[in-house]
Amino acid sequence: MEIEKARLISLALDFGFDEETAKTGLDHLVHLYGDEGQEFITVEHCGDDFLVALAESIKGNEDWDDLQTLESQACGTLADMFDKDVPNNHIPAVDANAKKNLYIIHDSPEPQKRQNFMHLDSSSDNEDEEFKILEKSSIRYPPSGSKRVSQVFLSTNSFLKFETQICDYKSNITRDPVSSSSNISASSGTLNTNETLSYEMLQSLDDIELANVVIFGNRIFRPLQHQACSEYLKNRDCFVLMPTGGGKSLCYQLPATMQPGVTIVISPLLSLIQDQIITLNLKFGIPATFLNSQQSASQAAAVLQELRSDKPSCKLLYVTPERIAGNLSFHEVLKCLHLKGLLAGFVVDEAHCVSQWGHDFRPDYRILGCLKQNFPNVPVMALTATATQSVRQDILKVLRIPNATVLEASFDRPNLKYEVMGKTKEPLKQLGELLLSRFKNLCGIVYCLSKNECVEVSKYLNEKCKIKTVYYHAGLAARQRMAVQQKWHTGEVHVVCATIAFGMGIDKPDVRFVVHNTISKSIESYYQESGRAGRDNLPSVCTVLYQKKDFSRVVCMLRSGQGYKSQTFKLAMEQAKKMQQYCELKTECRRKNLLEHFGEAFERSVCRYGSSPCDNCLKASS
């Protein structure tokens, strides 16, 4: 009994609880089990309950974030966008000027015409004349009734004009670079409005390459994007594993624009859907809409009606999984689209949500196998940036796509430098000094565990360190959150102190640092959150400020989360423990630890002699 008591105390200390709390908790446990139950007081039998009791004994001090609020508000935003426009053409009217630039596809190219889909209309021009690619937002789909359904309108002019200045454009078109970093770091990969391409060079591209340039404004493909698009267009199931910021969205958005009909995208969160829909409609001019159970009945009915029409205007329909799980009218619409040959494909984004071994399991994702069952000939593409080997197997099984083409890029982000710093006795002062000494005037995120921590950290940095920061959590009103995002995106403020609510959909290219003021709840979450850094592939730093005590706060948060009932609590604790182990690595390579967590074999020398070695590799080589 005494040995078991000592083991339980040591367990509590390991999880960051202080000795006094642990001893009081143990006394309660002994009292609870009484004399007859003493043999049950073991780590194996009641360790988890003991930790839960400890977490509950100290809960109440912190204000955990509630992502549900964020979801309801995202639904509100989307509903507002579509409400104004649904009766006419299903394009959101966020920006009246942008809307003027959009035409709806009233016809789609036939599959056999794909070869010519991106045929460029130069009929009214001298063939030799060189043409200029204009802004992405001015790319048009053909107006209603146009016979040239395969035409892409690049400007308001009645004919296209391209100017050539780039002499060796061809050498910049890269389908599958062996090393992503060398190719992409050479340029951002995105065309500037003043960059121009020769007509011949455009002609030499295949359809997928041309769509990448013309519709998405990208100069090159990132690793595996071209193959993913090509496989999916051949109606093959695909499983795409790419790192955070690797460009997974393009793998399905591009094929969606090249096929007749509608591609159905299942995404777990409305906040993510909101971002995608705004980007597609307003930046690329690709009609996309959404369906969700929180929408009003009339909004949903309008979307369903449009989908039942002979030529639905939208190319991508985003849905949350519960739509698929239990909605008869939606199933009937899918059947109707399929009969007309207009069900182009299914996409399961953030596919790790399928697996209960994943860090973000969504029970509604389990039902998605019915897609392949009901529509065996319609291709399914699953995408994720965070899947261990067991999660991968689970995804293929649950989605019923055992023969999918697996397109797997390394999860490594070579430009990210991973490091952990032990917290000092004055952690806020330490944070301020870190930001001032190493990240002055650079764009970054300071992740905090709770809402009150965000506010406190932001206030300290503003007042004591004179670093201009803003804070962001799900408890802010939608308008306040938008204001924060805007200030950050425009560079008015460089640093945001945020909960994980700020991770979703954040796609700012030049985030130079991500500091975790408190550890993440799992390796997967950490990989996702730190993955907001360096999406332009330039060197960036991911720092964790660590102290054991913070781990007990993570336990409290896990306990308080609605999803963490007793059966999943254990799994969550195991995942949190791995994050703790990552932080406590003394000499081992952190990059190797992260990648091996996802089942990727990794040579330490790659980190050590790479462009951004982790702190332990740096120490080892000095």
Ligand X SMILES: Nc1ncnc2c1ncn2[C@@H]1O[C@H](COP(=O)(O)OP(=O)(O)OP(=O)(O)O)[C@@H](O)[C@H]1O
Instruction: Kindly list the residues in this chain that would bind ligand X in the complex (CB under 6 A).
Output: 189-190, 218, 220-222, 225, 242, 244-250, 385, 507, 531, 535
162 binds, among ligand X, Mg ion, none (CB under 5 to 8 A by kind): none
Q: Which helix (H) or strand (E) holds 262?
A: strand 262-266
72 binds, among ligand X, Mg ion, none (CB under 5 to 8 A by kind): none
Nearer to Mg ion, 248 or 372 (CB): 248
- Residue 145 tokens read as 């009734």
Dist CA 75 CA 91 (whole Å): 16
218 binds, among ligand X, Mg ion, none (CB under 5 to 8 A by kind): ligand X
Query: Following DSSP, what letter does each residue of 354-372 receive, concatenated?
Result: G-TTSTT--GGGGGGHHHH
For residue 15, give every residue at least 6 positions away whose Cβ sits within 8 Å of its Cβ, in sequence order, or none: 51, 54, 551, 552, 555
CA-derived radius of gyration, the chain: 26
- Residue with token string 């789909």: 141
Nearer to Mg ion, 54 or 504 (CB): 504
Dist CA 486 CA 185 (whole Å): 27
Nearer to ligand X, 348 or 435 (CB): 348
- Residue with token string 């920006």: 95
Q: Select the residue whose beta carbon is closest to Mg ion and give its number.
A: 248
Output the smallest distance, CB 280 to ligand X, in A. Answer: 11
Q: How distant is the alpha carbon of residue 252 from its chain centre?
A: 14
Are 162 and 199 within 8 A, CB to CB?
yes
The torsion angle over the Cα atoms of residues 165, 171, 177 and 179, rounded to 10 degrees, is: -80
- Residue 328 tokens read as 């008869």
- Residue 217 tokens read as 């404004």
Nearer to ligand X, 385 or 614 (CB): 385
Output the smallest distance, CB 193 to ligand X, in A. Answer: 15
518 binds, among Mg ion, ligand X, none (CB under 5 to 8 A by kind): none
Question: Cα separations (Å) of 72 from 78, 218, 532?
Answer: 10, 34, 24
246 binds, among Mg ion, ligand X, none (CB under 5 to 8 A by kind): ligand X
Write out the residues near Mg ion by the rule CB under 5 A.
248
Output the smallest distance, CB 352 to Mg ion, in A. Answer: 12
242 binds, among ligand X, Mg ion, none (CB under 5 to 8 A by kind): ligand X
Nearer to ligand X, 334 or 385 (CB): 385
Output the smallest distance, CB 148 to ligand X, in A. Answer: 27
Nearer to ligand X, 213 or 291 (CB): 213
250 binds, among Mg ion, ligand X, none (CB under 5 to 8 A by kind): ligand X
Nearer to ligand X, 186 or 367 (CB): 186
Output the smallest distance, CB 282 to ligand X, in A. Answer: 13
The dihedrals phi and psi of 469, each to the nearest 5 degrees, come to -135, 165
Output the smallest distance, CB 46 to ligand X, in A. Answer: 39
Output the smallest distance, CB 269 to Mg ion, in A. Answer: 11
